[in-house]
Amino acid sequence: MRLRLTIIAFLAFCATLSAQEIDYTKWVDPFIGTADYSATHPGAVVPHGMMAVVPFNVTGSELNRYDKDTRWWSTPYDVRNSYSVGFAHGALSGVGCPELGAVITMATTGAVAPDTYDHGSEYGNEVAEVGYYATTYAKYGIRAEATATERASVERYTFSEGGEANILVNLGTALSNESGAMLRRVSDTEVEGMRLLGTFCYNNQAVFPIYFVARVSRPSERTGYWKLQPEMTGIEAQWSGDSGEYKLYERYSREIMGDDIGFYFSFGEVERGEQIEVKVGISYVSMENARRNLDAEVGEATFDEVRSEAHNKWSEALGRIRVKGGTDEERTIFYTGLYHALLHPNLMSDVNGEYPTMERGDVGVAVGYERYTVFSLWDTYRNVHQLLTLVYPERQRDMICSMVAMAEEWGWLPRWELYGRETFTMEGDPAIPVIVDSYLKGIRDFDVEAAYRAMKRSAMTEGRSNPIRPDIDPYIERGYIPVGIFAQDMSGDNSVSHALEYYVADNALAAFAREMGDEELSREMERRASGWQNYYSKADGAMRPIGEDGNYIGEFDPAAGANFSNTIGFHEGSSWNYTFFVPHDIDALIKAMGGSKRFVEKLQWIFDNGHYDPTNEPDIAYPYLFSRVKGCERYTQEQVRRLLDENYSTAPDGLPGNDDTGTMSAWAVFSMMGLYPDCPGEPYYTLTTPRFERVEIDTTSGTIVISAEGEGCYIKDIKLGGKRVGYRISHAELIDAKELNLKLY
């Protein structure tokens, strides 16, 4: 614990010094990624905060062009919409399935109107900064502002036109596929309750509650509940937007439960310019913990005080990486990318350390670490956790402690965990490379033996008892997974994708077993990790699904499956998106393809013919593979520059595809700094041309400086600590040398 506090103090000291010079938050634009399918939001949040206060504008009015079916929206906000129904408390950023976005508050004037089609409003004059969001509700002339702490929020409503003021608390609207809620009036200034969430990506097992306490800054004259009574005459009517009648229940009611319920505070006439604040605390343990979180983190603090503290937290976090040079647009892309990469995973433990245990339903207490959640590991194991390990090791350490504790609680490391529930989304065993990567880079202050036990459990347990690798039996017996052995409900057979992910995990486990002195297991995992060669068809030059009989399946189009269309063997991609996905065994892949020349030609052909997908993860490291062939490093530099130019911008659609809880953003952050973690679970970086003249990265071992000298886009010389090196360096080399100098032409 003392070591962890020392690390935090050192990094905070370094960032404080840098923050005295430049406030790097000015280059964050939270509106980037809020259009198309990037699914980020402009809401108020602090780094890795449980609380995110997000404007909810994807339902409630025909004015919203993109709200026709909220079941398919994964964020409460789309910049192209124009009708808001208030602030949601707790939201995900950059995911591909709808969830959270519940406990919605809104200020109105006039009569209480529970239906979102009645009380919502068009809005304008939006402002989004780190830890702050504001807009004006045109219907009421109300300026609505929001800011946040880790587990609580403060909203400030300015009634510029006066009138009869109301604060509404809506538990009926949410992005979740679940429904059901409870509300209880505590006093004229406070309400508490719970809303059920879950069924993420339509998995009906993953259900969990969010608890809250909402407190207004002045006594209300009248309070009460509502219950909407929808007209359920048919499935079309259910989604028509016609919510039917509603009933109001005045303050003599003690509590209410059900679907489509809400609460209102009515304050009578307020003067022009008068303000009302709303403070909200949330918890995934209990209403009492939500109150504790609110009292501990906000208490009597004013809106401006909380906003200032949120800004300072972002200033410290962003200031750990300082760039010089580049254009203003490039700095905005870079720091907004870093901002997005610091949203998830996020805190789940309350101020007293309590959290909902993994898949058990009871309450645990995190001792010596903060409990994290939202482990979208199929995405983030490729670069987000490597970024955290390099720059924010104290947070990465707590995330590893969280994953290991999950394995102790329910038996398995997570794949895609959400608030104490495994959603079983995507495939592979991605927690293994995350933990191994961090361990090999020096983060070892966690229960290493427990982590090793959990890794071996998922790698060795037979399929019928293995929820993480349910198709592991043929993988162990044959070295591959035949078509039809195991199919995911939504996307059909993903056998090749499953196996390719397992190979990467087992390569990492082989390295960890060596560290543990278990040479026998290490050799076995190395043997397994080479099994990808079963899928590689030399005749097709591509990975190809294998049937039960051990032969490649008949009809085969390596381009099928692109753009998320269904195809046999591959998940969210084509064979071309997966063929080079053996980052741990590139030398063998080069040999299988007929040598370096053919490897490079084939890889270039992928890009030239539009088979590289910049919007998804399977081929995310492809541009860096050119550098594995001596003399072809310039192709990496060309492709990375082109992909940054074509796919990243400061526009609302300036991210490619779903940000996937920061993964697409982290790709840009690494690439713009000039280095990329090219294989999950291996402590190496491939170098490329940075976008800045100088990059300073604060680490626990001191500040790393990456400098680029000369004009041009290509690298002609690399020196690490004054010594000439190649295009692939280890993490230890980088940390020890601290100075990486690139000469360009």
Residue 439 shares a structural domain with residue 553: yes
pLDDT in tens, 30-53: 999 999 788 999 999 999 999 999
**10 found inside a domain:** no
The confidence score (pLDDT) of residue 487 equals: 54
State mean pLDDT over 247-266. 82
> What is the mean pLDDT of the segment spanning 464-476?
96
16 lies in some domain:
no
- Based on the fold, state whether residues 308 and 367 are members of the same structural domain: no
Q: Are residues 360 and 224 in the same domain?
A: no
5-14, 185-194, 566-575: least confident range = 5-14
Q: What digits encode the pLDDT tens for the residues 506-528?
A: 999 999 999 999 999 999 999 99
Same domain, 197 and 325: no
Is the torsion defined by CA of 624, 629, 632, 634 positive or negative?
positive
Question: Would you say residue 213 lies in a domain?
Answer: yes
Handedness of CA 473, 474, 479, 481 (dihedral sign): negative
Please, which pLDDT band fits residue 555 given cuts at 50, 70 and 90? Answer: confident
- Residue 405, H or E segment: helix 393-410
Please indicate, yes or no, whether residues 614 and 692 belong to a single structural domain of this protein.
Answer: yes
Looking at 267, 293, 317, the residue that finishes a domain is 317
Average pLDDT over every residue of 655-661: 95
Q: 626 and 491 in one domain?
A: yes
374 and 413 co-located in one domain: yes
Structure tokens that stand for 305 in this block: 């005080």
pLDDT confidence of residue 60: 83
| CATH number of 564's domain | 3.30.2080.10
Domain endpoint, select from 317, 348, 383: 317
Q: How many domains, the chain?
A: 2
Residues 685 and 558 in one domain: yes
pLDDT per position as a tens digit, 223-237 = 999 998 755 444 443
User: What pLDDT does residue 229 have?
Assistant: 72
**Same structural domain, 419 and 536:** yes
My answer on whether omega of the bond before 345 falls inside 30° of 0, hence cis, is: yes
pLDDT at 253: 64
* Residue after which a domain boundary falls, among 290, 317, 344: 317
Identify whether residues 312 and 337 lie together within a single domain.
no
Domain CATH for 207: 2.70.98.10
The confidence score (pLDDT) of residue 565 equals: 79
Residues 6+ apart with CB under 8 A from 309: 149, 301
**Are residues 280 and 404 both part of a single domain?**
no
Residue 394 falls inside a structural domain: yes
Residue 30 lies in a domain: no
Res. 504: pLDDT tops 50: yes
Are residues 679 and 712 in contact, defined by beta-carbon separation less than 8 angstroms?
no
Give the start-end residues of each E strand in 178-283. Answer: 181-187, 190-198, 207-216, 222-229, 245-250, 255-258, 261-270, 274-283
For residue 624 the two structure tokens come to: 């860096």
d(CA 535, CA 548): 13
Q: Cβ(653)–Cβ(594) under 8 Å?
A: no
Indicate whether 232 belongs to any domain: yes
Q: Is 679 domain-assigned? A: yes
What is the DSSP track for 275-323?
A: EEEEEEEEESS-HHHHHHHHHHHTTT--HHHHHHHHHHHHHHHHTTEEE
Confidence of residue 490 (pLDDT cuts 50, 70, 90): very low
CA 626, 627, 631, 635 torsion: positive or negative? positive
Q: Which residues pair with 421 in a beta bridge?
A: 418
Domain around 572 = 321-744
Average pLDDT score, the chain: 92
Whether 7 maps to a domain, the answer reads no
Specify whether the CB–CB gap between 584 and 504 falls below 8 A: yes
Is residue 551 domain-shared with residue 670, that is, in the same domain? Answer: yes
Angle of the 495-515 helix axis to the 519-529 helix axis, nearest 10? 160
